[in-house]
Amino acid sequence: MSAEPDGPEDRLRRFATIWSRAVFPATSTSLTRPEFEELLLPLARRLSEALRARTYDAEEGRAVGAALVEAHCTEPEALSSALDCVDAYLVLYCGGDGHQEDLRARAARLQSAMAAGYAEALRQRTLTEQEAIARAALEAQGAVARALHATEARFRAVFEGAAIGIGIADLDGNILQVNGALLRMFGVTEQARLARCVTEWTHPEDAPQVWRLYEELVRAEREHYHTEKAFYRPDGTVLWTNLTVSLLRDADGNPQYQLALMEDTTERRLLNLRLRYEATHDALTGLPNRTLFFERLEKALAAGDGQRFGLCYLDLDGFKAINDSLGHAAGDRLLVEIADRLQSCATAPGEMVARLGGDEFVALTTGPDTESEVDDLADRIMNALVTPVRIDGRELLVRGSIGIVEGPAGERGPAEVLRSADITMYRAKSAGGNRYEVADAEADARAITRHGLTTALPAALDRGEFFIEYQPLVHLGDGTVRGAEALVRWLHPQHGVLGPDRFIPLAERTGLIVPLGRWVLEQSVRQAREWQQRHGGRGPLRVNVNLSPCQLTHPGLVQDTVEILERAGLEPDALCLEVTESALIGADDDLLKPLRRLAEMGIDIALDDFGTGYSNLANLRRLPVRVLKLDRSFTQGMQQFPADPVDLKIVEGIVSLAHSLDLAVTVEGVETGAQAEQLRILGCDTAQGWYYARPGPPERLHELALVDATG
Amino acid sequence: MERPAWAPRSIDISMPSVARMYDYYLGGSHNFEVDREAARRAMEFVPGLPKIMQANRAFMRRAVRHAARAGITQFLDIGSGIPSFGNVHEVAREAAPGARVVYVDHDPVAVAHTQAVLEGADDADVVAADLRKPRDVLTSPQVERLIDLNRPVALLLVAILHFVEDTDDPYGAVAELRDALAPGSVLVVSHASYEGIPLPRERVEGAVDVYKDIRNPLIMRSRDEIARFFEGYDMVEPGLVPMAKWRPDTAPEDEDPYAFSGFAGVGTKA
């Protein structure tokens, strides 16, 4: 559009500029002022045209007024600025050359129409917006209400469908609402049959704190509590529950209700009681078992000052024989009968009897006076066993060995006490059984050492803690060294060097004697071979090796021995195996067969410790024995001067007998020259003892032999 | 008591709403007497509040146009309030045909109103969610439907962050949003501050107290504190400046003095 300076168009634009400058500060538009001016320009044109139109059209003014509202000129100042501006400048800039008076009148009418149009539009707009926001608020509230309704419906479903019991009460305890699960727990179908008030729900087994916690909760001093609680059902039976009670507060935090959630634990509780009983009682006898006994013992040992305990550890003598001969069923019946009798022995408070397993029982007494009570208890137990037990028409005589431990509480742990009782019981058993022994620390210590050694044995063999010493065997006729007895030692890391008496019986019991014995044989045979090589042609040096009863019955004995000799390259006649007389008492042919095989190969068999057992002289004939080793007890009588004549006679007799059976005689324990001389006169062949040499390392023997040869 | 997650926020139109107060400042009638009453009280302390809102609106308009010129066609406007005029989708459509807009607000009335306004529009939608839980925003079906997070987005946090208290970790929330956006995205922030308002601080504090009274505290932050919302983004010229100084298209002498209140800025993700 052309805008010739000061032409009508230019003047219209100038009016629009003035108008926009006047109105813009009062608008809320986010348009810039020039943009706003562009918006006003068409409105200015309409006004300009309406001003000069032949007929007055109020609609034009109204439309411009409404358009101002449309342009966000909604503040009242916007209207007044707009009208002031029209009043002052419309005629001036847009009136052209019309009649001033008419133009002024037309402008005034246009302003009125503008105001009316503005007011109408603003009213419409306000109403529309008010309606819109009200509808939005309603819609939002409706959405909330729908969500709340859905939530409430969900809640109701949760409340009614929950597997746990839910109850709501006010803070006075009045029960307001309970759910179906809770009714079912109480075995009723309607709430009216329940207590009206929470405080009526007492039960004798209520824990002392339950109602204190309740009071604290309703006074809002605590938010919730959890407890196990029993209730009476209307039918009188007991309902056990896991109960959680919470305080419910309103939106402002004021306490309002109490909410109880309860889980029925009646069944579980019964099951627990049963499981607990089963876990703590012996199924066969119904007596408390090891677990329960240990709990009680622990409690007794943890008791305070002045409290003592007494324990009887009973093991039946020969029960295995009964089981083996009459069968396990009979054995079980016997145990049940014994259990009943024992039970009647320990009926006082603080006393209990338990079965630890097998035929082992314990009786416990506690209190301040167990020192005397425990002996009475042991007496009652021994008495209870006196009457024979009748099983399958047989009268079985039952005996037992009891180990007693008694002492003050607070000093020892249950394991230590029980071990002491066990050790003591074994002492009673090894003393022949059918008796009780009282624990003493020294015996315990010995047993404990023995136990320690037993368990350390296998590792000791692997670690090479064993070594061998040799004690020379000297020919009484010419005093030459003819060989040596191999004696095994244990260099124990804590206890130092231990003699065979300390560990051979343990090795026998555990079976370790077999590998240990084989090792001793290997070492000794290799040593004998070495002596032979170094000793040259001056007659063979023999080696004596002890065979334990266990080795005798071991099926690999012959094979092992042959292999060991062959591997070392030693002639069989350079080896003498020593067997104790007691090991061969009552030996049958099966037992003697390996010995015979060994003897046939040329290995000498010596009968060790001869004269200590019931020497069956007639038996000697049967045995594949070449040497008798006379026990040191015979030579002890010859240490003094003059020698005991009876001893002399006995030794003389044995030597004569041996020689007549073609057996050589070796004597042990020769400690003096007089003794040696005496024995030589009596005809003994070989001797060993401190008089000649103590057991020592293999080199010593070599030296002694050399001395013989040169001296 | 803390409102459980499943319970809808209750609507109490007897409490003023900052969205409806904003509408009132801008001359709208989408408000109730409680809103007007609160707004009038605030205006007793800071009479120029409507001018500040207008300047804020104008800044948003310029920022949206800037984003559109940068080729961005996706807009996420969090804290959109009650759209009365000059809304993002209007400005965006004008500047970038085919633009998609998602509005987010946690005021249920504002959301309901926006839904009504947008009825029938395929390219704009509204999410009822809270800026303090950005995950709710980003994983909303509306965002998933309209916004491709693998392409640049204009994230608008216009006059909203000053309603998030530090205990609600606004920096963490904004960081999570920033991290979710693709390179080339822009972050548009305007924020109230004591700096720049042509009034003594005590006067402004009077208005701040009004917002505290209506349980919508207004958190005034310093320029440095506001700058931290852009961490990791490159500031677009002229940086973080008073609203009226951000790429103005009006001569400063024509601006109302209140238009220089608070700070506004735009950052770009490299």
pLDDT digits (tens, 9 = 90+) for A571-585: 998 999 999 877 777
- List where CATH 3.30.450.20 sits in chain A: 163-270
CA diameter of chain A: 184
- Average pLDDT of chain B is 90
The structure tokens listed for A414 are 């249950």
- Whether residue B127 lies within 8 A of chain A, CB to CB, comes out as no
Q: Match 């040696």 to its residue by tokens.
A: A676
What are the distances in angstroms from CA A346 to CA A75, A310, A422? Answer: 104, 12, 20
Fold of A8-132: Globin-like (1.10.490)
- Average pLDDT of chain A is 88
- Is the confidence at residue A650, as pLDDT, over 90? no
Cβ <8 Å between B54 and A136: no
Cβ <8 Å between B109 and A140: yes
DSSP string, B9-75: PP--TTS--HHHHHHHHTT-----HHHHHHHHHHHHH-TTHHHHHHHHHHHHHHHHHHHHHTT--EE
With left for phi above 0 and alpha for psi between -120 and 50, is residue B219 left, alpha or beta? beta
8 A C-beta contact, residue B159 and residue B80:
no
- Is the confidence at residue B103, as pLDDT, over 50? yes
- Is the confidence at residue B173, as pLDDT, over 50? yes
Residue A249: list chain B partners with CB under 8 A.
Answer: 1
Q: Give me the percent of chain A exceeding a pLDDT of 70.
A: 97
- Whether residue A387 lies within 8 A of chain B, CB to CB, comes out as no
Confidence of residue A377 (pLDDT cuts 50, 70, 90): very high
Instruction: Give the separation between CA A610 and CA A664, rounded to whole angstroms.
Output: 12
- Is the confidence at residue B4, as pLDDT, over 50? no
Question: β-pairing, A496-498 with A542-547?
Answer: unpaired
Q: Write the single-letter amino acid at A626.
A: R
- Whether residue A131 lies within 8 A of chain B, CB to CB, comes out as no
Instruction: Give the separation between CA A615 and CA A634, rounded to whole angstroms.
Output: 14
- Whether residue A70 lies within 8 A of chain B, CB to CB, comes out as no
Burial class, B171, CB count within 10 angstroms (exposed 0-12 / middle 13-18 / buried 19+): middle
Structure ipTM:
0.87
Instruction: Give the separation between CA A333 and CA A389, rounded to whole angstroms.
Output: 10
Give the CA dihedral A59, A61, A64, A68, nearest 10 degrees. -120
Residue B7: list chain A partners with CB under 8 A.
Answer: 147-148, 151
Cβ <8 Å between A249 and B61: no
Higher local confidence (pLDDT), A617 or B211: B211
DSSP 3-state helix, strand, coil percentages of chain B (rounded to 5)? Answer: 45, 15, 40
Q: How far apart are the first and last CA of chain B?
A: 44
- List where CATH 1.10.490 sits in chain A: 8-132
Give the CA dihedral A18, A22, A25, A26, nearest 10 degrees. -140
Burial class, A502, CB count within 10 angstroms (exposed 0-12 / middle 13-18 / buried 19+): middle
CATH code for the part of the protein at B49-199+218-268 = 3.40.50.150
Cβ <8 Å between A140 and B30: no
Confidence of residue B10 (pLDDT cuts 50, 70, 90): low
Instruction: Give the separation between CA B108 and CA A139, rounded to whole angstroms.
Output: 9
Q: A402-434, pLDDT tens digit by residue?
A: 999 999 998 888 988 998 999 899 888 888 889
Radius of gyration over every alpha carbon of chain A, rounded to an integer in angstroms = 58
Per this entry, what is the length of chain B?
270
- Whether residue B85 lies within 8 A of chain A, CB to CB, comes out as yes
Cβ <8 Å between A72 and B27: yes
- List where CATH 3.20.20.450 sits in chain A: 454-710
DSSP conformation class of A223: S
Cβ atoms within 10 A of the Cβ of B114, count? 26
Spatial CA neighbour of A666 closest among A637, A631, A696: A631
Q: Which CATH class is domain A163-270?
A: alpha beta
CATH code for the part of the protein at A454-710 = 3.20.20.450
DSSP string, A634-678: HHHTTSSSSPPHHHHHHHHHHHHHHHHTT-EEEE----SHHHHHH
Give the distance from CA B36 to its chain's centroid: 20
pLDDT at A692: 86
Q: A655-696, pLDDT tens digit by residue?
A: 998 898 889 999 988 888 888 888 898 899 999 988 888 898
The answer to which of A98-107, A288-297, A698-707 has the lowest mean pLDDT is: A698-707
Nearest CA in chain B to A70: B85
- Is the confidence at residue A704, as pLDDT, over 80? no
Three-class SS string for A602-636? Answer: CCEEEEEEECCCCCCHHHHCCCCCCEEEECHHHHH
DSSP conformation class of B228: G
Spatial CA neighbour of A403 closest among A434, A432, A367, A427: A427
Residue A133: list chain B partners with CB under 8 A.
Answer: 20, 23, 29-32, 82, 109, 113
Instruction: Give the separation between CA B123 and CA B144, rounded to whole angstroms.
Output: 12
8 A C-beta contact, residue B131 and residue B155:
no
Radius of gyration over every alpha carbon of chain B, rounded to an integer in angstroms = 17
Domain map (residue ranges) of chain B? 49-199+218-268
Q: B38-59, pLDDT tens digit by residue?
A: 999 999 999 999 999 989 999 9
Q: How far is B81 from chain A (nearest CA, A)?
A: 12
For residue A647, what are the contacts with CB-CB under 8 A and spacing of at least 6? A634, A637, A638
With respect to CATH, is domain A281-439 assigned 3.30.70.270?
yes
| pTM higher than 0.90 | no
Q: Write the single-letter amino acid at B4.
A: P
Q: How many CB pairs under 8 A join A and B?
A: 96
Q: How far is B129 from chain A (nearest CA, A)?
A: 14
The structure tokens listed for B191 are 């924020």
Spatial CA neighbour of A635 closest among A591, A691, A561: A691
- Is the confidence at residue B3, as pLDDT, over 70? no
Q: How far is B49 from chain A (nearest CA, A)?
A: 11
Spatial CA neighbour of B244 closest among A32, A71, A18: A32
Mean per-residue pLDDT, B207-222: 92
